[in-house]
Amino acid sequence: MDLSRVQKELKDCNKDREISGIGIEANGGDLTHLSGTITGPVGTPYEGGTFLIDVRLTGGYPFEPPKMQFRTKVWYGRVDGHPNISSQNGAICLDILKDQWSPALTLKTALLSIQALLSAPEPDDPQDAVVAQQYLRDHATFVATARYWTEAFAKRVTVGIEEKVQKLVEMGFPENSVRKALEIVNGDENMALEKLCSG
């Protein structure tokens, strides 16, 4: 794996984060395990949400695609989420993460493609057939449920964040590191603790 390319991609991806809504960081300095973030596209039920994407690079990167999956829930439940996102494990059904990958593509390209997928689901190539049917047959319910799950799991919650910061600081972690970890994982205290312990 070309680690200098990965470092360059991380830098390029983060330089226009405010405009693109895309960001990516190494987990504890490990350039093979990354945390990506995408913002929900405007005009979709995902608008206003920030979604965490787990990114794993194999030794064959950039000749092999990155392995990406959602860590933020994207409308899970009995009849679950987005037709191209697995309700079981957050796996993403997207051609460039499979057989259409090319070394000319980048991590940013992949994250932008996932963001675009939230704007235009592809129910003909679903991860979840039940959700795809609901998307096609009862779109209003699909949209309402997707909005609800975005509110519940992908919006940054400021209520209670200070309590989480205080609890993690009391465990011996520096406050700046705690705040950064909580921001990266959208306020999920357990994921922040895992991130703080790993690096």
Active site amino acids: 93
Tokens (6 digits) for 139: 């779109």
Q: Is 190 exposed, middle or buried (0-12, 13-18, 19+ CB in 10 A)?
A: exposed
What kind and span of H or E run contains 43?
Answer: none
How many angstroms separate the Cα of 58 from the Cα of each of 33, 35, 103?
9, 15, 13
The amino acid at residue 53 is I
DSSP SS3 for 63? coil
Q: Which residues contact 189 (CB under 8 A, 6 or more apart)?
A: 164, 167, 168, 182
Given a contact cutoff of 8 angstroms between Cβ atoms, the answer to whether 39 and 50 are in contact is yes
What is the residue whose two structure tokens read 């959602």?
Answer: 70
Given a contact cutoff of 8 angstroms between Cβ atoms, the answer to whether 185 and 191 are in contact is yes
Minimal CA–CA distance to 149: which of 87, 78, 44, 77? 77
